[in-house]
């Protein structure tokens, strides 16, 4: 066969949810029980870069992440490959002069510029870059929202990393998952002074995977239906309003309340799931203290499926917030040596 190789490279940043996705409506379609909303971080800080190539000489689909071969036979990766190839095939059927890339095997080479095992939403950036790189290779005309439908099937939170700025993943109401997609709520330029400090408390891999954790919560938590059906829908509306009005205090109140609600349903799962540890709880106390001293909300914590803290603040309060975080966490066991890992991230753009 010909040894010609076609390739394209794309990057996708990490996103950190302020209204959390936790619970699958369908494990097959990877649709959520509730909508969620996140802020996409800067490409310069935490991102995945992926080169997708295809060639008639490749024998199988393959993926290397930070130099190590990763299995792509799982249903999630296969769903993404199949959907992207189908879109390319439709393009080739319309324009017979195009090379038949949809029939070639794909090789993906991915690199994260942050520790993969650090529980820093690596799958979100990973699957977003995976989909974006193949879409670019195939020269697809689909919009980010259309591509988000594909990335969602790789990893739910990945659908939100197709956009910069403030992004909602609307859960959708169709039973085929077609309208379970990401939409941009506001571009980064709308509120460019939002920052995220990431406190790396542990770079150990998370104990309970998000998929198995979510399934256990949906099956056993009695608090969960109230969160998914009542609390989160109201918070989604309130969060969109806070972002539209650049109201940091409301943004902070909603962010912290939703992180606590997510970790509460984890604790209410049988057997209970603990993602936060003593250092995480110390971070919460420091943020509470910063806000008490400031007399208003100037910082907001949030935690995903691991102990690391992400702290949102406005650039105008950078000195107060980062200064207090460094001082306030100096005595926390298992944290001091990680202090150089405090990074201030600019939003995308």
Q: Which residues bind ligand PMV (CB under 6 A)?
A: 17, 20-22, 36, 121, 123-124, 155-157, 210-211, 304-305
CB of 20 to ligand PMV, least distance (A): 4
Q: Which residues pair with 107 in a beta bridge?
A: 53, 62
Name the pairing type of β-strands 105-112 and 62-65. Answer: parallel
Q: How far apart are CA 58 and CA 122, in angstroms?
A: 27
CB of 81 to ligand PMV, least distance (A): 18
Angle between helices 210-220 and 248-267 (to 10 degrees): 80
Helices (H), the chain: 75-94, 122-137, 144-154, 210-220, 224-226, 232-244, 248-267, 278-294, 318-328
* Cα 61 to the center of its chain, rounded Å: 25
Pick from 144, 146, 121, 149: nearest CA to 18: 121
Identify which of residues 107 and 152 has a Cβ nearer to ligand PMV in the complex.
152
CB of 294 to ligand PMV, least distance (A): 27
CA 282-286-288 angle, to 5 degrees, is: 115
Do 176 and 30 contact (CB within 8 A), yes or no?
no
Identify which of residues 168 and 321 has a Cβ nearer to ligand PMV in the complex.
168
Identify which of residues 124 and 345 has a Cβ nearer to ligand PMV in the complex.
124
CB of 176 to ligand PMV, least distance (A): 20
Six token digits for residue 266: 């984890």
Do 181 and 234 contact (CB within 8 A), yes or no?
no
Identify which of residues 211 and 250 has a Cβ nearer to ligand PMV in the complex.
211
Six token digits for residue 9: 């490279």
What is 219-248 written as a DSSP string? Answer: HH-SSHHHIIIIIHHHHHHHHHHHHHTT-H
CB of 237 to ligand PMV, least distance (A): 17
Q: How far apart are CA 163 and CA 159, in angstroms?
A: 8
Q: How far apart are CA 15 and CA 178, in angstroms?
A: 22
Do 338 and 283 contact (CB within 8 A), yes or no?
no
Do 18 and 157 contact (CB within 8 A), yes or no?
no
Identify which of residues 38 and 102 has a Cβ nearer to ligand PMV in the complex.
38
Identify which of residues 324 and 347 has a Cβ nearer to ligand PMV in the complex.
347
Q: How far apart are CA 179 and CA 27, in angstroms?
A: 16
**φ and ψ at 107, to 5 degrees?**
-120, 130
Integer CA distances (angstroms), 203 to 17, 117, 165, 309, 312, in order:
19, 6, 26, 12, 20
CB of 232 to ligand PMV, least distance (A): 11
Identify which of residues 123 and 317 has a Cβ nearer to ligand PMV in the complex.
123
Identify which of residues 253 and 304 has a Cβ nearer to ligand PMV in the complex.
304
Identify which of residues 16 and 137 has a Cβ nearer to ligand PMV in the complex.
16
């Amino acid at each position: 066969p010909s040894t010609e190789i076609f390739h394209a490279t794309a990057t996708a940043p990490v996103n950190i949810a302020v209204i959390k996705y936790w619970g699958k409506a369908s494990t097959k379609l990877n649709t959520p029980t509730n909508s969620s909303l996140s802020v996409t971080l800067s490409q310069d800080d935490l991102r995945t870069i992926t080169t997708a190539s295809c060639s008639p000489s490749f024998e199988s689909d393959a993926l290397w992440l930070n130099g190590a071969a990763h299995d792509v036979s799982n249903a999630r990766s296969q769903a993404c490959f199949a959907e992207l190839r189908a879109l390319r095939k439709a393009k080739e059927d319309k324009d017979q002069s195009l090379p038949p890339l949809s029939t070639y095997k794909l090789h993906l080479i991915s690199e994260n510029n942050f520790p993969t095992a650090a529980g820093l939403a690596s799958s979100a950036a990973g699957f977003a870059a995976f989909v974006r790189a193949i879409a670019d290779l195939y020269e697809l005309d689909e919009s980010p929202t259309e591509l988000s439908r594909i990335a969602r099937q790789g990893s739910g939170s990945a659908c939100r990393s197709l956009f910069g700025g403030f992004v909602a993943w609307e859960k959708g109401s169709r039973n085929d998952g077609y309208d379970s997609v990401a939409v941009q709520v506001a571009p980064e330029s709308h509120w460019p002074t939002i920052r995220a400090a990431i406190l790396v408390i542990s770079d150990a891999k998370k104990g309970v995977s998000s998929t198995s954790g979510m399934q256990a919560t949906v099956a056993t938590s009695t608090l969960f239906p109230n969160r998914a059906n009542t609390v989160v829908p109201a918070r989604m509306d309130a969060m969109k309003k806070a972002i539209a009005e650049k109201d940091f205090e409301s943004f902070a109140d909603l962010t912290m309340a939703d992180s606590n609600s997510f970790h509460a349903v984890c604790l209410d799962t049988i057997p209970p799931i603990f993602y936060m540890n003593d250092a995480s709880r110390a971070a919460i106390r420091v943020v509470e203290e910063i806000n008490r001293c400031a007399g208003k909300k100037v910082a907001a914590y949030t935690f995903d499926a691991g102990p690391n803290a992400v702290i949102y603040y406005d650039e105008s309060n950078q000195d107060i917030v980062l200064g207090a975080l460094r001082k306030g966490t100096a005595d926390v066991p298992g944290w001091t040596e990680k202090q150089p890992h405090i990074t201030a991230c600019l939003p995308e753009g």
